Amino acid sequence: MLQNIHLDPRIDKRLDTLQRSGKKAALAAAKARDIIDRLQSGGIIADRVGTVTKHGELRIKGVMKYDLGSGYRLVTFKQGSRFFLLYVGSHDDCHRWIENNRELTLEQIEQRCITRPVANDSGQPEVVTTSPEENDPDPVLLIDERDLRRVFRGLIGGLR
């Protein structure tokens, strides 16, 4: 049974982006949020999160892709009783993410993820004590390319 789920800090940002992207993307985002909520509440077992893609994922050992419908995927990693939600996006986005992150080690994945407790049988999340370093993601990792372009465009525009 899962005691914690671990989420990449960019998952929430990706879900917000998908929510605004259109009807099919919004449905996929809603399904992914539902999966995350059900995992946290202890309502589903990690092995039964959703429909696994037909060909699985062979590029990174332990990684599974789940079909969210309409060409959207949720990329997860399971190690023992730990369950990591790493990325959500279109099939092509997930393919690109896996290619770019195929050298990730378990330690790197643990460092970048935020731990959320899973509710026990009484419906209450178990209290987990962790050091502040584990819960505080590097702020630089939260900045995406669009934000950088916006900031630097403003800086360059101010020089002219």
Rounded Cα–Cα distance for residues 36 and 157 (Å): 41
In DSSP terms, 76 is beta-bridged to 64, 85
Closest CA to 44 of 76, 11, 88, 9: 76
pLDDT of residue 39: 82
CB 117 within 8 A of CB 3: yes
pLDDT of residue 43: 64
Q: pTM higher than 0.75 for the full model?
A: no
Cβ atoms within 10 A of the Cβ of 54, count? 7
pLDDT of residue 19: 93
Rounded Cα–Cα distance for residues 34 and 17 (Å): 16
Q: Does domain 4-159 have CATH number 3.30.2310.20?
A: yes
Helix (H, G, I), strand (E, B) or coil at 124: coil
pLDDT of residue 141: 67
Rounded Cα–Cα distance for residues 124 and 156 (Å): 51
pLDDT of residue 126: 46
Average pLDDT taken over every residue of the chain? 78
| Mean pLDDT split into 10-residue runs, the chain, 160 residues | 84 93 92 87 62 57 83 88 90 90 87 84 49 58 74 65
Domain boundaries, the chain: 4-159
